[in-house]
A = this chain, B = another copy of it.
Amino acid sequence: MTAAAIDTPKRPRGRPRKTLDERDEGNRRLELVKAAARLFRRKGFDATSTRDIAAAVGMHSGSPFYHFKSKGDLLYAVMEQGMQWALDRQAKVLADEEPAAEQLRRLIRSHFDTLHGPGRDFIPVMLYESRSLTTRQRNGIADLQRQYEAAWVPVLKALSRSGQLRTDASLARLLIFGALNWSVQWFDAKKSASLDKITDAAMALFIREDLQ
């Protein structure tokens, strides 16, 4: 903290008002990320051209490179944004003290919401296009994923201790995430069972009733 910082005159409370230009820049950038997420999910990263993305937001072919240094940076932005939202949703769900089984149910339901809620292309892109990241980028995403998984570990350990889960917590986590994540291959909001029902099915598959 420098003296200059201390002496800074008080600003009005709340988030500082952005200039019109700044606000537009932020919006355009987010528009690009959203359009990229949708296209990367539908066609894959390699099969999506930066021209496709530009056209989707009404820009000309070179303009995305004003906002992002490279196509790969745009991919990274999609994944980072997706993980940030997923972490936010997950944090909201874990507020109270509850039995471990109920906590797991909430985590699973929130995870399905992250995967299949309306407009949620970001995490599927992350799950299927990580190969196209640089090593540095992959490490950045891996950090966010570790944060996300950290909420699951104590819950699974508790269930393992109580006998409601009959598998070593670490392998259980991998297998359970697999079962959930794989749903991006088959879940169809119009045809599949509801996310609540699928959450019930997953719980019934993995967890035994309380054995007291």
**A residues near B, CB below 8 A?**
43-44, 46-47, 128, 131-132, 165-168, 171-172, 174-183, 185-186, 193, 198, 201-202, 204-206, 208
Closest chain B residue, CB of each to CB of A42: B131
The smallest C-beta distance from A117 to any residue of chain B, in angstroms, reads 19
The smallest C-beta distance from A72 to any residue of chain B, in angstroms, reads 12
Closest chain B residue, CB of each to CB of A183: B178
Contact among B47, B132, B165, B178 for A178, CB-based, below 8 A: B178
Are B182 and A178 closer than 8 Å at their CB atoms? Answer: yes
Contact among B174, B193, B205, B208 for A182, CB-based, below 8 A: B174
Contact among B47, B167, B172, B179 for A176, CB-based, below 8 A: B179
Q: How many copies does the complex hold?
A: 2
Give the residue among A47, A128, A166, A202 with the most B Cβ atoms within 10 A.
A166
Give the residue among A168, A178, A198 with the most B Cβ atoms within 10 A.
A178
Closest chain B residue, CB of each to CB of A197: B171
Which chain B positions have C-beta within 8 A of A171?
A: 193, 198, 201
- A sample of 8 inter-chain contacts (CB < 8 A) reads A46-B46, A47-B132, A166-B204, A166-B205, A174-B186, A181-B182, A182-B182, A206-B206
A204–B128 Cα distance when bound, in Å, is: 28
| Given A175-B179, A178-B179, 6 further pairs, Cβ under 8 A | A43-B131, A168-B201, A171-B198, A172-B205, A179-B179, A182-B182
Do A202 and B182 form a contact, CB below 8 Å, given A43-B131, A47-B46, A208-B208? no
Question: What are the 10 closest A-B residue pairs judged by CB atoms, nearest first?
Answer: A178-B182, A46-B46, A179-B179, A175-B179, A178-B179, A171-B201, A166-B204, A167-B205, A167-B204, A167-B201
Do A44 and B131 form a contact, CB below 8 Å, given A174-B183, A178-B183, A186-B174? yes
